[in-house]
């Protein structure tokens, strides 16, 4: 049986974590602004359902990797403060994961939204 009270608490904790991460991580704030801009453009251009799906997936990929990056950074800071060389490597690897997700999202965004921009500026 599903315990509603426990489920509600889980959502409260999740939103608290998201809020804290958003408040403290500048990169997540920038990525969220870009995501909102892309969603607005997709709405203006009336992209099809497949394009919407792909945009939502890559936006989620970027946000998720940034949240995971933030969690890993906190874990490494607690376990081994900055004096250990592995901490730097772990943080660099996680930053690379976020970068790859961002590059993927950018490429997908260009592939999907690019033709709409080209059509917008075509002279017929």
pLDDT value of residue 35: 97
In sequence order, what DSSP letters do the residues of 34-82 get, joined into one string?
A: HHHHHHHHHHHHT--HHHHHHHHHHHHHHHHHHHHHHHHHHHHHHHS-T
pLDDT value of residue 16: 95
Q: Which domains are delineated in the chain?
A: 4-121 (1.10.287.3610)
pLDDT value of residue 113: 97
Give the residue among 21, 19, 18, 52 at the shortest CA–CA distance from 38. 52
Cβ–Cβ < 8 Å for 86, 80: yes
Stated pTM of the model: 0.86
pLDDT in tens, the chain (124 residues): 888 889 999 999 999 999 999 999 999 999 999 999 999 999 999 999 999 999 999 999 999 999 999 999 999 888 776 667 788 889 999 999 999 999 999 999 999 999 999 998 886 5
Residue 28, token pair as written in the block:
């997540």
pLDDT value of residue 124: 56
């Amino acid at each position: 049986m599903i315990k509603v009270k426990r489920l509600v608490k889980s959502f409260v904790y999740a939103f608290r974590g998201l809020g804290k991460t958003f408040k403290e991580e500048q990169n997540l704030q920038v990525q969220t602004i870009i995501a909102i801009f892309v969603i607005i453009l997709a709405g203006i251009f009336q992209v099809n359902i497949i394009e919407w799906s792909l945009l939502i997936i890559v936006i989620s990929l970027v946000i998720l990797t940034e949240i995971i990056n933030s969690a890993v950074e906190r874990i490494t800071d607690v376990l081994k403060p900055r004096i250990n060389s592995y901490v730097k490597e772990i943080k660099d690897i996680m930053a690379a994961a976020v970068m790859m997700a961002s590059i993927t999202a950018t490429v997908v965004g260009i592939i999907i939204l690019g033709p709409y921009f080209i059509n917008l500026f075509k002279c017929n």
